[in-house]
Amino acid sequence: MPETGDIVAVKRCSHSSQGKNEFLSELSIIWNLRHRNLVRLQGWCHEKGEILLVYDRMPNGSLDKALFEARTPLPWHHRRRILMGVTSALAYLHQECENQVIHRDIKTSNIMLDEGFRARLGYFGLARQVEHEIGHLMGLAHSPVRDVADIGRKWWRR
């Protein structure tokens, strides 16, 4: 628990070389990202061979648990709010960051839900950064994923 007394989520990374590589990737990418629909990284620790990432705690868990393990179905207004949050996070990652970030592992278990059932995209272990100039050369400026984020935001605004 941090000095503030807030309850946090702690992710322990694997001791394998793949685990350390994912830790370094996740840390280097998410450390500078700030968006209301991303799980906020509060800090990290690497001591005695242990690698820990400290995140804001998401009291409503992950979307997969809310959809498939909850006793009652997730109401449609929550589902809409979650969809809007995920598309907002993707638009930020693909269009608004200094370097585009391609998450590469979007699934219900990596979408966390805060106290208001707002989506927070997490787990950036497989993510990659793409500089804007390279992204345009590779066609990422109008990739299907980016266009889906645009469509989702525009459709829900009507």
Active site residues per annotation: 105
Structural tokens at position 44: 């990290």
The separation between the first and the last C-alpha atoms of the chain, rounded to the nearest angstrom, is 43
Chain centroid offset of residue 119 CA: 9
Distance CA 118, CA 78 (A): 8
Structural tokens at position 55: 């995140």
